[in-house]
């Protein structure tokens, strides 16, 4: 009973705070969020558990910050745990949260397929599961999905490359992708391919580092398996070091015609910075245009400095607020609002999708500073 009364008070507060988060305001009430990794010594009851993939990418620290602010301010006990690139740790994290009595699990899977075992345990314990940003696949134990429009992310990256390509034809295009264990990596690539493929097919662009992409260049729509074969050649595993070594290997084996003014599809900001550094240090690369996503601080500085061409802003305030609003509905026994579905290879998961914004040197201040996401003092040379 006590828990129920507390929940109702929390729900009213949360409604206010979710609105506050959406408009950029928040207060500073304490939360009990743990950030230590798989285990904490706290025995406190936790209402909403959040599991994120890694602390080592600034993207997920942004999400953590939003969750702690919104849930903490709303008076909900919550805990954020990181899987640190390990599905085993992820499963332990979910079990830890179940043992603390969570009603709702918000999980961003390390590996979409492997996470099915963890969410099935949660479901068996009566916990509602919200997949966050990355879909959990091959299971019916996902109740909802909150995501950005990942196809639009890839399409925006591809379109940026086309719009900023040097004149002429035969322009070298280097393709890189995310981890094959992440469903999003497929959707990002599918979006980019939808825009780039006609220009590859007509010879305007020439893929420099994927024989599989070259084999499939006349095919407008690829199957998941075909995308998988391309990703197999160009994956970064979402790892900066893998991205760096792959770019180095690609440039070492590239012919003279694959150098000069080039285009680079980099899947996110962390990998973009690694790849950009490699391209910048090759004396035979005259210029490069390179994409990114997440609007990480370091990449925003790279954009200001002209070292990265664009990023995609995915406002983590909105995504966290959407999933918290969903959690609130679930706790109230209401059906959360959704606007689409995503098939996870087992069921159509009801989903809430959020749009994205392309950020370049021209709108960085308006998109990221004026919107209150970052402070201009965090950067040098911002206009």
**Chain residues that interact with ligand BGC, rule: CB under 6 A:** 57, 59, 133-134, 178, 182, 184, 238, 268, 293-294, 314
Q: How many CB atoms lie within 10 A of CB 332?
A: 14
- Nearest residue to ligand BGC, by Cβ distance, number only: 268
Best CA proximity match to 364, nearest among 301, 315, 322: 301
CB atoms within 10 A of CB 252: 8
Closer CB to ligand BGC, 94 or 153, in the complex: 153
Length of the chain: 383
CB atoms within 10 A of CB 383: 8
d(CA 227, CA 212): 9
**Minimum Å distance from CB 90 to ligand BGC?**
14
Give me the least distance between CB of 128 and ligand BGC, in Å please. Answer: 22
Nearer to ligand BGC, 68 or 237 (CB): 237
Of 192 and 258, which CB lies nearer to ligand BGC in the complex structure? 192
Q: How far apart are CA 363 and CA 358, in angstroms?
A: 9
Q: What are the Cα distances from residue 7, in Å, to 4, 84, 336?
A: 5, 31, 17
Nearer to ligand BGC, 184 or 209 (CB): 184
User: In the beta sheet, which residues pair with residue 348?
Assistant: 343
Q: Which is nearer to ligand BGC, 87 or 268 (CB)?
A: 268
- State the minimum distance, in angstroms, from the CB of residue 228 to ligand BGC: 16
CB of 223 to ligand BGC, least distance (A): 21
Tell the burial category of 314 from Cβ atoms under 10 Å away from its Cβ (0-12, 13-18, 19+).
buried
Identity of the residue, 40 or 110, whose beta carbon is nearer to ligand BGC in the bound complex: 110
Which of 314/317 has CB closer to ligand BGC?
A: 314
Smallest gap from Cβ 184 to ligand BGC, in A, equals 4
Minimum CB–partner distance for residue 270 and ligand BGC (Å): 7
The nearest distance, CB 265 to ligand BGC, in angstroms, is 14
Nearer CB in complex with ligand BGC: 40/344: 344
At closest approach, how far in Å is the CB of 115 from ligand BGC? 12
203 torsion bin: left (phi>0), alpha (psi -120 to 50), beta (else): left
DSSP per position, 183-215 = HHHHHHHHHHHHHHHHHHHTTSEEESS-HHHHH
> Distance between the two ends of the chain, CA-based, in angstroms?
55
């Amino acid at each position: 009973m006590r828990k129920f009364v507390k929940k109702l008070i929390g729900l009213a507060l949360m409604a206010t705070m979710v609105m506050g988060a959406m408009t950029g305001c928040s207060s500073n009430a304490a939360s009990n969020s743990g950030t230590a990794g798989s285990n904490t010594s706290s025995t406190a009851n936790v209402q909403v558990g959040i599991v994120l993939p890694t602390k080592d990418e600034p993207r997920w620290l942004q999400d953590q910050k939003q969750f702690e602010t919104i849930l903490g301010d709303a008076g909900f006990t919550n805990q954020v745990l990181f899987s640190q690139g390990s599905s085993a740790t992820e499963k332990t994290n979910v079990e830890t949260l179940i043992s603390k009595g969570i009603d709702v699990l918000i999980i961003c899977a390390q590996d979409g397929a492997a996470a099915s075992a963890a969410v099935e345990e949660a479901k068996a314990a009566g916990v509602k599961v919200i997949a966050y940003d990355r879909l959990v696949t091959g299971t019916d134990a996902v109740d909802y999905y909150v995501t950005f429009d990942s196809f639009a992310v890839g399409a925006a990256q591809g379109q940026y490359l086309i719009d900023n390509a040097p004149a002429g034809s035969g322009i070298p295009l280097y393709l890189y992708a995310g981890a094959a264990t992440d469903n999003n990596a497929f959707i990002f690539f599918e979006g980019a391919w939808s825009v780039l493929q006609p220009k590859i097919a007509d010879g305007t662009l020439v893929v420099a580092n994927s024989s599989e992409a070259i084999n499939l260049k006349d095919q407008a729509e690829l199957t998941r398996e075909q995308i998988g074969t391309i990703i197999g050649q160009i994956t970064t595993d979402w790892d900066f070091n893998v991205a760096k070594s792959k770019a180095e290997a690609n440039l070492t084996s590239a012919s003279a015609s694959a150098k000069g003014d080039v285009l680079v599809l980099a899947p996110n900001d962390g990998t973009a910075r690694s790849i950009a550094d490699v391209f910048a240090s090759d004396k035979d690369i005259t210029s490069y245009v390179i994409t990114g996503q997440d609007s990480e601080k370091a990449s925003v500085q790279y954009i200001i400095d002209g070292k990265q061409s664009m990023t995609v802003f995915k406002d983590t305030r909105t995504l966290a607020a959407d999933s918290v609003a969903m959690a609130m509905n679930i706790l109230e026994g209401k059906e959360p609002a959704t606007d689409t579905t995503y098939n996870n290879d087992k069921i159509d998961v009801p989903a809430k999708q959020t749009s994205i914004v392309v950020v370049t040197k021209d709108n960085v201040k308006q998109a990221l500073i004026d919107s209150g996401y970052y402070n201009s003092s965090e950067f040098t040379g911002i206009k």
